[in-house]
Structure 1
Amino acid sequence: MNGDAHTPKHAAILVLPHIRVQNANAISSPMTWGFPAITAFTGAMTALERRLGQDAGIGLYGVGIICHGFEAQVTTEGFTHAFRLTRNPVLHDGSVAAIVEEGRVHLDVTLVFEARISDAHRGDAERAALAERIAHELASMRIAGGSLMPPIAGSARRPTRPTLDLLPDEDEERSKLFKRLARRWLPGFALVSRDDLLEARLSDLKALNPNANVLDAWLDLSRWSSKAIMQPTTDEQAEVPKIDWITEPRPGWIVPIPVGFAALSDLQPPGTVKGARDTEVPFCFVETIWSTGQWISPHRLQDLDELIWEAQAPDEHGLYRCRNAYRPPNPVPDPTNVIAY
């Protein structure tokens, strides 16, 4: 960002509360559906920063997501759910257009950005004006393909105005600020990374089957599993033993999530791939990569780093991946909650 007056120097936290998104994309990857992918929000962050321009005096480096409302547009009859599809207008010759399967969801989310601001925005009035400008710019954009709707007039206790706060240098003061903000985000759930659960489950499966791989562990964490337990009985005349079905517990609200992309080819020069959306930047064929996430109450997070997702540049393996620094608390052993295979 050009000029000393506009160069971001000071760490800050930008909060855009209770953003209503209508008809966001609910098909987050080829293998998952539900909440939009993390890359949809990091992409919105990049688009927002580009809209603001270099002279805005703010840089965005990561985004955290707290979900307050989730309304999937699906049928609810029976065990099989189906998306509610829209009827497209007829073609110019009067024929019926093909129906393209698409999943939609209405969201109520709070977006928290890790930011840096310039000296020109250190004052309270300047930060408030910049936060309002950012919220105004975001209102005309899309998030995960969904349209942003005006806020619903509600209780005065429900925060709806954007805020931009400087992060104190002292760890104690920074922790106090984050805890105060986290209480404002209730009720809601923050999405964090749980790569550690995936690694632990893979180790458990390899102990039983050396041929088990990461996909087996990911699928095992993505489902609810029940097993039959034969109960002891003192009735020797009983022909049918007593069976209890027990659902294996999970350490929290665990979900499978896409976290980025893996490169399938080398970077192609701009304009050399037919049909590319942008002909001015290099092009690369990619496929989705998945991991495991968890929805957790914001008040259980310890600091901002545990909430923020950052998009990392491709490494030597060609991974374009979003990472989150959540650190789970040390678990207390509980023999009644051990998963037996």
Structure 2
Amino acid sequence: MNKQAFKPTGLLLLPHLCVQNANAISSPLTWGFPSPSAFLGFVHALERRLSDQYGQVFGGVGIICHGFEAQTCKPNRRQHLIFAQSRNPVYLKNDAAKFINQGTPPAIVEEGRAHLEVSLVVAVHGGFQEAQEEQDFADAAYQTALGMRLAGGCILPALARRVPKPQWLPWPGVAADQRRAFIHLRRRLLPGFALVHRPDLLAGRLEKPKTESDGIPVNVLDALLDLTRLNHLPARLSPETPSEGDLPTTQSTSPAQLLPKVEWRVEKHPGWLVPLPIGYASISPLYAAGEVAATRDDSTPFRFVESLYSLGQWIGPHRLSQLEQLLWHSSAELEAGLYRCVNRYSDTLAKTDPQLP
């Protein structure tokens, strides 16, 4: 089934999944919350495990974060953060006895880990005959997910006593009914934040770039960093501040008096913006299966890739107006060599109902 023309008949809600020691380094340049590709891979693996028994087709996934705790610490008398590392044996089994006799500790494996609490909304195509079959499918998906890994971390049951159970939510085909169904859905996702894609803000930043002293405009990477950090900018206190020519230039005048009085302010950005790895771009041609040595699968074509970066935003689910703003889909353009995670939040902003918050 074409993922671009996917029309769900129901939604699988997996609420408050506690992920322990998830991978917090999704790309060579970013760290923090896992990339959307990790959640799309998890949903694809879940679909393959359930397809033989139920035959449902999964189309997209909505990512809602309820809690994030990076496994970091501060060194003694330092202000920066470092990841909490662990010592894991990485030497060969034949050399284990030699290291044990010499008392040499195993090396530290450099990795970043984090604890997550997320809810996933999976778009599913396929129906059931009875309501009991729908709940059985939701319970089976939840139990299967507990035995899997999400972003390299182990999934644990929710620790709270009153936690919503996994549910199957029928998705209507009429637009008016879809609106009412989505209003009930987003209430169940609170409190939390949904991850959406904001390439429109990045494009708008490039249209009006800040210039350096020599007039050279910033590039795309500088625009991404400018939107995802706190920029302290100087601002004049009042336009009546005397200039350098108005001040008396006597020997008692200090250089500080010749400068205008300014106030340092933090530049405000439109929302909680984060750098986001959204996929991969090819840096080599597509090789035939088995042509490149030491690959994971000898029956699948292979190519070398590098990470793609864009701009993401954390937004409250109550500020979303339709399901397409929440879901992430996988997209593969083989001729262009692009393998991306697609979210249509920015594409649907023009269609947003102004009456919704």
Q: Say whether the 8 Å CA contact 2:42–2:150 is kept in structure 1.
A: yes
Q: Say whether the 8 Å CA contact 1:24–1:144 is kept in structure 2.
A: yes
1:154 aligns with 2:173: no
Q: 1-side partners of 2:9 and 2:19: how far apart? A: 28
One-letter amino acid of the structure 2 residue matched with residue 45 of structure 1? V
Q: Say whether the 8 Å CA contact 2:87–2:109 is kept in structure 1.
A: no
Q: Say whether the 8 Å CA contact 2:12–2:138 is kept in structure 1.
A: yes
Q: 1-side partners of 2:149 and 2:216: how far apart? A: 46
> Once structures 1 and 2 are overlaid, which stretch shifts more, 258-267 or 213-222?
213-222
Report 1:91-240 matches (<5 A): 91=91, 92=96, 93-94=98-99, 95-118=104-127, 121-155=128-162, 158-159=163-164, 161-205=165-209, 211-232=217-238, 239=257
Q: Output one character per residue of 1:151-178: Cα deviation in whole Å (capped at 9) or x when no partner.
A: 21423xx41x111121111111111111
Q: Following TM superposition, by how much is the alpha carbon of 1:312 offset from its aligned partner in structure 2, in angstroms?
A: 0.5
TM-score (norm 2): 0.83
Q: Following TM superposition, by how much is the alpha carbon of 1:10 offset from its aligned partner in structure 2, in angstroms?
A: 6.1
TM-score (norm 1): 0.87
> Once structures 1 and 2 are overlaid, which stretch shifts more, 320-329 or 279-288?
320-329
Change (3 A) 1:38 1:9: closer
Equivalent position of 1:44 in the other structure: 42
Q: Say whether the 8 Å CA contact 2:8–2:123 is kept in structure 1.
A: no
One-letter amino acid of the structure 1 residue matched with residue 220 of structure 2? V
One-letter amino acid of the structure 2 residue matched with residue 131 of structure 1? A
> Once structures 1 and 2 are overlaid, which stretch shifts more, 10-19 or 235-244?
235-244
Q: Output one character per residue of 1:92-136: Cα deviation in whole Å (capped at 9) or x when no partner.
A: 122433322100000000011111014xx1421111001111111
Q: Please state whether the residue corresponding to 1:219 is helix, strand or coil.
A: helix
Q: Which has the larger radius of gyration?
A: 2
Equivalent position of 2:355 in the other structure: none
> Once structures 1 and 2 are overlaid, which stretch shifts more, 168-177 or 92-101?
92-101
Q: Percent identity?
A: 45
Task: Provide the aligned C-alpha RMSD in A.
Answer: 2.4
Q: Following TM superposition, by how much is the alpha carbon of 1:52 offset from its aligned partner in structure 2, in angstroms?
A: 1.5
Q: Please state whether the residue corresponding to 1:313 is helix, strand or coil.
A: strand
Report 1:288-303 matches (<5 A): 288-303=307-322
Change (3 A) 1:175 1:207: farther
Q: 2-side partners of 1:80 and 1:207: how far apart? A: 30
Q: Say whether the 8 Å CA contact 1:90–1:96 is kept in structure 2.
A: no
How many residues are paired up?
A: 319
Q: 2-side partners of 1:320 and 1:214: how far apart? A: 20
Q: Say whether the 8 Å CA contact 1:9–1:117 is kept in structure 2.
A: no
Q: Output one character per residue of 1:64-99: Cα deviation in whole Å (capped at 9) or x when no partner.
A: 100000000001464311000012248512243332
Q: Please state whether the residue corresponding to 1:22 is helix, strand or coil.
A: strand
The counterpart of 2:22, out of the listed 18, 21, 24, is: 24
Equivalent position of 1:339 in the other structure: none
Q: Please state whether the residue corresponding to 2:286 is helix, strand or coil.
A: coil
Q: 1-side partners of 2:26 and 2:79: how far apart? A: 22
Q: 1-side partners of 2:198 and 2:49: how far apart? A: 32
One-letter amino acid of the structure 2 residue matched with residue 262 of structure 1? A
- Which sections of structure 2, spanning at least 5 residues, go unmatched? 248-252, 351-357
- Which sections of structure 1, spanning at least 5 residues, go unmatched? 2-7, 331-341
Q: 2-side partners of 1:194 and 1:284: how far apart? A: 28
Q: Following TM superposition, by how much is the alpha carbon of 1:329 offset from its aligned partner in structure 2, in angstroms?
A: 5.0
Q: Say whether the 8 Å CA contact 2:51–2:57 is kept in structure 1.
A: no
Q: 1-side partners of 2:304 and 2:268: how far apart? A: 39
Change (3 A) 1:234 1:227: closer
Report 1:273-292 matches (<5 A): 273-292=292-311
Change (3 A) 1:272 1:142: same
One-letter amino acid of the structure 2 residue matched with residue 84 of structure 1? A
Q: Output one character per residue of 1:260-298: Cα deviation in whole Å (capped at 9) or x when no partner.
A: 000112222223322212222111111000000000000
